[in-house]
Each structure stands twice: as C-alpha cells, then as structure tokens.
C-alpha cells in the first residue's frame, strides 16, 4: 500500500516529466529563431538599385519604386539575398526585371517586377547666356539637381573646363545640353602645327599643315610641307600634334 509521501513523490515526478517533455518540444519547434526577420521592402529596393547601378555603371543616385504593392515572401530568414537574373537592355524611367530572392540558401521567389526609376544628378543650368564660341565659364551657370532619365542630354556639373567652348547661345533658365558645348579646337584647319614623334631613342620633330580642326585627344590629318604627303597625328596641345606608333 502506497503511503501519502510515496503518492506525493510520484506526483512530483510525473509533473517534472511533463515539464521536460514540453521543454523538449519547445526546443525542437520549427518556429523561427529571434534572429530571423522578414524581408523589408527598403532592403529589397535598395539592393536592386545597387545592382542596377553597378551593372550599368550609372553616375548619380538611382531611386526605384515598385510598380505594384510590396508582397514579401511568406517566411522568415536569418540571411536574405536578392539577385537580378534578367536586366533590361538600357536603364530608363521604367524597367522590367526578373529577380530571385534566396532565404537562408533556399529560393523563396523567382519572378518579374516593373520598376519606376529616377536617376538624380547635379547638372548645369544657364544663369547668364553665353557668347557663341566663348570658353566654358562656370560663373555664368548654376547647379540644379534633376532626374536625368527625364531630362536627357543635360551636362552634369562635374563636366566643364577651359577645353570646352559654347557652340551656341542658351537662354537663361535653360538646361545646358551636350548640343550646346564642344571641345575647344587646339588645332585649326590651315594652321601650321608642330609634329613630334618618339619611338625608343628615336625622336622626330617637324612642321606640318593641319587639314582639319581638332580638340585635345582627337586624331587629325596633317600634310608634310616638303613631300605633301598626308598622315594622321593626335592633338596633344595648342598647335601641337604627335605621331603615335
């Protein structure tokens, strides 16, 4: 016959066994750990923007928005990876991409999305109309930040020095475009130019007649004054060209 103390000990042992069973079940439950998180929309879009910027070597700040409401994968994960699988041909204000989402090493999504995009850059706006043929002058310009996907051919504020000239007059308040400026010719057609050539220990210098205009770094045709033979040289400075082997 069991005594009250024996019954009490058995009850305590049974209770401890139940607690241990519950603890083991909780330990082996498939519920995500506290370190697991859902994929945030900001993390998703910023990863896509960084990927597109690197792929197209974009200058400026690329901002993108989803063409539909954000619908994250229906799961949690410790590590998320977003990868663009198919890129558009060219970057633009509207881009269709195919992407893949990997959660803790397993594919969680593989689908397409339409993106709305802006590429923000600082560009030149005319403050005072320039003279045609005048040397590029930053003092008559001002900087404005615009979406260059919508304002095409505008000149970024990082461009512009004395090697450029204004090709035409531009009204105040208008964006400066690549059609408005050009490289200043350092060699002009009909001018005598100095020609130099270097090949190892061999050095050559002579005079020649420029047959066309040319800016720094451009190849121009020049004519030998004695033989009247024409050849190509590269503009390196004012009235100075160089033959490159």
What distance in Å separates the CA atoms of residue 243 and residue 31, rounded to the nearest whole number? 73
Residue that terminates a domain, selected from 119, 134, 155: 119
Tell me: do 172 and 201 sit in the same domain.
Answer: no
Tell me: do 49 and 113 sit in the same domain.
Answer: yes
Stretch 182-209: mean pLDDT, rounded? 90
Higher-pLDDT residue of 11 and 43 is 43
Q: In the chain, what percentage of residues exceed pLDDT 70?
A: 86
Tell me: do 158 and 206 sit in the same domain.
Answer: no
Q: What is the CATH number of the domain that holds 220?
A: 2.30.30.760
Tell me: do 47 and 105 sit in the same domain.
Answer: yes
Tell me: do 50 and 98 sit in the same domain.
Answer: yes
| pLDDT value of position 204 | 86
27 domain-assigned: no
Tell me: do 115 and 127 sit in the same domain.
Answer: no
Tell me: do 227 and 238 sit in the same domain.
Answer: yes
For the chain, how many structural domains are there in total? 3
Tell me: do 112 and 131 sit in the same domain.
Answer: no
Give the model confidence (pLDDT) of 228-241 as tens digits: 999 999 999 999 99
Tell me: do 104 and 91 sit in the same domain.
Answer: yes
Tell me: do 107 and 145 sit in the same domain.
Answer: no
Q: Three-state SS string across the chain, please?
A: CCCHHHHHHHHHHHHHHHHHHHHHHHHCCCCCCCCCECCCHHHHHHHHHHHHHHHHCCCCEEEEEECCCCCCCCCCECCEEEEEEECCCCCCCEEEEEEEEEECCEEEEEEEEEEEEEEEEEEEEECCCCCCCCECCHHHEEEEEEECCCCCCECECCCCCCCEEECCCCCCCCECECCCEEECCCECCCCEEEEEEEECCEEEEEEEEECCCECCCCEEEEEECCCCCEEEEEEEECCEEEECC
Tell me: do 132 and 114 sit in the same domain.
Answer: no
23 domain-assigned: no
Q: 88-92, 143-147, 241-245: which range is least confident on average?
A: 241-245
pLDDT tier at 34 (50, 70, 90 boundaries)?
low
What distance in Å separates the CA atoms of residue 77 and residue 217, rounded to the nearest whole number? 54
- The boundaries of the domain holding residue 93 are 41-119
- Report in angstroms the alpha-carbon separations of 70 from 97, 137, 210, 233: 15, 47, 62, 58
Asked if the model's pLDDT at residue 5 lies above 60, the reply is no
Tell me: do 52 and 112 sit in the same domain.
Answer: yes
């Amino acid at each position: 016959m069991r005594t009250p103390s024996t019954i009490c000990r058995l009850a305590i042992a049974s209770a401890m066994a139940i607690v241990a069973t519950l603890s083991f079940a909780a330990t082996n439950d498939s519920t995500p750990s506290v370190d697991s998180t859902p994929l945030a929309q900001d993390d998703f879009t910023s990863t896509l923007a960084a990927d597109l910027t690197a792929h197209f070597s974009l200058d400026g700040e690329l901002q993108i928005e989803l063409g539909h409401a954000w619908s994250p994968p229906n799961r949690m994960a410790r590590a998320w990876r977003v990868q663009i699988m198919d890129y558009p041909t060219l970057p633009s204000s509207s881009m269709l991409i195919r992407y893949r989402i990997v959660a803790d090493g397993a594919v969680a999504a593989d689908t397409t999305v339409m993106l709305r995009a802006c590429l923000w850059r600082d560009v030149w706006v005319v403050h005072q109309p320039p003279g045609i043929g005048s040397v590029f002058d930053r003092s008559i310009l001002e900087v404005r930040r615009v979406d260059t996907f919508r304002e095409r051919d505008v000149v970024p504020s990082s461009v512009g020095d004395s090697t450029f000239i204004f090709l035409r007059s531009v009204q105040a308040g208008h964006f400066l475009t690549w059609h408005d400026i050009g490289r200043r010719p350092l060699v002009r057609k009909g001018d005598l130019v100095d020609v130099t050539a270097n090949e190892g220990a061999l050095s050559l210098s002579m005079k020649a007649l420029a047959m066309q205009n040319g800016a720094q770094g451009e190849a121009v045709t020049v004519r030998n004054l004695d033989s009247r033979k024409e050849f190509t040289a590269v503009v390196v400075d004012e009235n100075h060209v160089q033959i490159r082997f």
